[in-house]
C-alpha cells in the first residue's frame, strides 16, 4: 500500500469496488504481511468475500522481519513446508476459507517440479485453492510443470505473472508464446514502468512539488529511455484525447495478446480513474508500431531467424515462404 494508512487504503479499495473492480492481487510478504491483513479486514468489514477474486503468492520469505534473517528458511522457497505454512497464514490473514488464485512467486531452482506441482494439486483437491498461477519463472520451467501436471492428472498453471511494459518487452521472447500454447492468461506487473512513465508536464509538476520518482532501481530522475517512451506515450495519448500516459501504457499491453490482465496500483483515486480510462482505449496498429519504434527490441534467436507463429502474424516465415505461397488467413 506504499505510504498509505489503513483508512486511505480502505477508501481506495471502496472506490475500486464501486467502479466495478473485483480482482485484488497481493502476496504473503507484501508490506511485512500487512497487505494480506488489511485486505482481509476490508473484505470482512464490507462483507464482500464472495464478490472479490483474491490472488496471493508463496515463496518469498515473509517472516524474516519477525523471526530474524537466517532463521526463516521454512518460510521461503518453493518446497512443500514453505507452501504449507504460507497458505495456512494467508488464509488466516485474508480471513477466508479459500484462495482464488495461488501463485508460485518465483522459481527457487531447488525444489523439483514434481514436488511443487504435486503439493499445489493437493491444495486444489482440498478446496483451499481454486486456480494455480506462476510468477517470475522461466518459460521452460512453466512448460515442464504444465506438461507434468496434465500428463499426471494434476492441476496445471492457468495464469502467468511477470514484468512487461512498452519499454521492457522481454515477455515477447518466450513468455507470451508459452502462454498462447497452454491457453494461459497473462497478468503483467510494471506495466506503467513503476510510475516512471510520466509526461513532461507531470514531471515539471513533480519537481515543483519536490517529488521524485520511485528509486527501487534507477534514480529520482527519468532515464533517457524513459523520457523517450514517455514522450511517445504522451503523443498517442493526445491522439486519444487524454493526458494520461499511463492509460496508453496499459492499453498497449492489452492490445498485444489475448487474456491480458494488467496489475496496476496507486495511492490516489485519481490514479484509479486513469487506470480505468485505459479500458476504453483501443490502439491502432499504427500507434502500436510507433510506440515500438522508439526503443528497438530484438526478440532474439531463434525467433529472429525462423520468425514468429504464422497463426499470430498471418504471414509465413521466410524459410517456409521459400517452399511455396501459403495463406494463414
End-to-end CA distance of the chain: give it in Å, rounded.
46
- Cell numbers representing residue 88 in the block: 495456512
Read off the pTM: 0.94
Helix axes 139-151, 175-182, angle to 10 degrees: 20
Based on the residue annotation, tell me whether 62 is a catalytic residue of this protein.
no
How does DSSP classify residue 260?
A: B
Q: What are the chain's domains?
A: 6-301 (3.20.20.100), 302-329 (no CATH)
**Phi, psi of 161, rounded to the nearest 5 degrees:** -120, 130
DSSP string covering 113-178, please?
Answer: HHHHHHHHHHHHHHTSEEEEEEES--HHHHHHHHHHHHHTT-PPEEEEEEE--SS--GGGTTHHHH
- Cell numbers representing residue 100 in the block: 482464488
Helices (H), 166-302: 175-182, 200-208, 224-239, 245-256, 269-277, 285-294
**Which pLDDT band holds residue 327 (cuts at 50, 70, 90)?**
confident
Count CB-CB contacts under 10 A for residue 202.
17
pLDDT score, position 245: 95
| HSE-up (13 A, CA, CB side) for residue 85 | 16
**Phi, psi of 211, rounded to the nearest 5 degrees:** -105, 135
Going by their DSSP bridges, the two strands 157-163 and 99-104 should be labelled as: unpaired
- Residue 190 and residue 164 in contact, taking contact as beta carbons nearer than 8 Å: yes
pLDDT score, position 266: 84
List own/partner pairs for 77-82 with CB under 8 A and 24 or more apart: 77/108, 77/110, 77/111, 78/104, 78/107, 78/108, 78/110, 78/111, 78/115, 78/116, 79/108, 79/110, 79/111, 79/115, 80/111, 80/115, 80/119, 82/58
Give 221-255 pLDDT, tens digit per residue. 899 999 999 999 999 999 999 999 999 999 999 99
Cα–Cα distance list, 220 to 60, 213, 233 (Å): 27, 5, 20
| HSE-up (13 A, CA, CB side) for residue 278 | 24
pLDDT score, position 214: 64
Give 136-166 pLDDT, tens digit per residue. 999 999 999 999 999 999 999 999 999 999 9
Give 14-33 pLDDT, tens digit per residue. 999 999 999 999 999 999 99
Catalytic residue chosen out of the listed positions 30, 62, 75, 160? 30
Tell me: pLDDT of 316 over 90: no
Sequence-distant (6+) residues with CB within 8 A of 60 are 27, 28, 29, 76, 105, 106
**Which pLDDT band holds residue 1 (cuts at 50, 70, 90)?**
very low
Amino acid at each position: 500500500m506504499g505510504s498509505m494508512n489503513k483508512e486511505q487504503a480502505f477508501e481506495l479499495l471502496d472506490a475500486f469496488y464501486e467502479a466495478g473492480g473485483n480482482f485484488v492481487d497481493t502476496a504473503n510478504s507484501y508490506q511485512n504481511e500487512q497487505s494480506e491483513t488489511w485486505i482481509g479486514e476490508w473484505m470482512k468489514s464490507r462483507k464482500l468475500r464472495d464478490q472479490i477474486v483474491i490472488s496471493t503468492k508463496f515463496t518469498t520469505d515473509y517472516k524474516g522481519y519477525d523471526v530474524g534473517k537466517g532463521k526463516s528458511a521454512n518460510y521461503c522457497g518453493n518446497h512443500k513446508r514453505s507452501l504449507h505454512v504460507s497458505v495456512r497464514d494467508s488464509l488466516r490473514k485474508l480471513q477466508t476459507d479459500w484462495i482464488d488464485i495461488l501463485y508460485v512467486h518465483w522459481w527457487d531452482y531447488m525444489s523439483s517440479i514434481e514436488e511443487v506441482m504435486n503439493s499445489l494439486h493437493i491444495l486444489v483437491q482440498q478446496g483451499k485453492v481454486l486456480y494455480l498461477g506462476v510468477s517470475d519463472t522461466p518459460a521452460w520451467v512453466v512448460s515442464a510443470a504444465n506438461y507434468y501436471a496434465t500428463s499426471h492428472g494434476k492441476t496445471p498453471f492457468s495464469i502467468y505473472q511477470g514484468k512487461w511494459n512498452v519499454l521492457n518487452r522481454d515477455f515477447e521472447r518466450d513468455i507470451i508464446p508459452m502462454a498462447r500454447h497452454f491457453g494461459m492468461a497473462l497478468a503483467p506487473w510494471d506495466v506503467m514502468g513503476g510510475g516512471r512513465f510520466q509526461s513532461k508536464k507531470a514531471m515539471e509538476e513533480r519537481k515543483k512539488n519536490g517529488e521524485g520518482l520511485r528509486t527501487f532501481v534507477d534514480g529520482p530522475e527519468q532515464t533517457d529511455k524513459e523520457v523517450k517512451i514517455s514522450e511517445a506515450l504522451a503523443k498517442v495519448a493526445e491522439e486519444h484525447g487524454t493526458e494520461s500516459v499511463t492509460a496508453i501504457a496499459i492499453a498497449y499491453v492489452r492490445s498485444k495478446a489475448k487474456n491480458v490482465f494488467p496489475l496496476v496500483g496507486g495511492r490516489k483515486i485519481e490514479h484509479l480513474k486513469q487506470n480505468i480510462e485505459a479500458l476504453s482505449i483501443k490502439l491502432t496498429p499504427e500507434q502500436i508500431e510507433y510506440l515500438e519504434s522508439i526503443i528497438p527490441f530484438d526478440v532474439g534467436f531463434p525467433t529472429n531467424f525462423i520468425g514468429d507463429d504464422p497463426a499470430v502474424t498471418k504471414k509465413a516465415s521466410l524459410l517456409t515462404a521459400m517452399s511455396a505461397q501459403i495463406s494463414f488467413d
